[in-house]
Structure 1
Amino acid sequence: MTERPSVLFVCVHNAGRSQMAAGYLEALGGGRVEVRSAGSAPADQVNPAAVEAMAEEGIDLAAAAPKVLTTEAVQASDVVITMGCGDACPIFPGKRYEDWALEDPAGKGVESVRPIRDDIKRRVVELLASLGIEPVDAR
């Protein structure tokens, strides 16, 4: 693994779960992890309820935009975390893959997104620990 590990979060629309996970990893990783997120079928915009839920945590996703999953992004990442994208993710030998079974926040209000957000935060803290990185502020 490189000195600065890289993590790619993948979900179908890259509008909710993967964006929240990337936001947490950016914030809690304190620049010690290269963070990417993408979707197999990206949405037009990030889920407004996800943006609102993350803003409550002091993480601004307002400028985030869904990106299409590329083979290059997977190849450039040490850890690939999928969130309900099934077989859409290309698999490369030597990569660490994890599948996080998370409820899809699409179409849900912020009240329903908060528990998903909190689950993602817990998993990101565990991911950092597995990479040997102490979270900056795990509130």
Structure 2
Amino acid sequence: MHVRPAALAAMAILGLCALSAHAQTTVLSYNEIAAEYAANPEAAGKKYDGRRLAFSGQLMRMGSEPGGTYFGAIAEDGAVFDTAFEVAEQEALKAKFEGNEIQPFQKSSTLVFECTNEGQVGTVVQGLKLTKCRAAE
């Protein structure tokens, strides 16, 4: 089989784009990231702020309004934290909920999801501001 140079170059570019997109997602436990922020907020901010972070765990819509974007997460490492899934991203979550329907305060099955970390927030209770979340699998 003969592959043309142009096709080979296109495949290489597509592969680099896929690697680049994957490289932007950091997979760590929420508790590990929070500990890094507690130990050195400036260094952790440089490392994680503005980046996509992936977590594994269960989700639960917080609130009874259909199409609400506020979800609680229960990570496999035991961390409990807030997330935000835009309505357009929620269709991919439905398969993880009983009856393929997202109901308020109903836990999903375990899934991998990723969010943009906008940094550490809070003064009394600190946490990460995780937005633009979506299912990763």
Tell me the TM-score range normalised by the shorter chain.
Answer: under 0.3
Query: Which protein has the larger Cα radius of gyration, Structure 1 or Structure 2?
Result: 2
Using the size of structure 2 for normalisation, the TM-score is 0.24
Judging by fraction of residues, say which structure has more strand.
Answer: 2
RCO higher in structure (CA 8 A, sep ≥6): 1
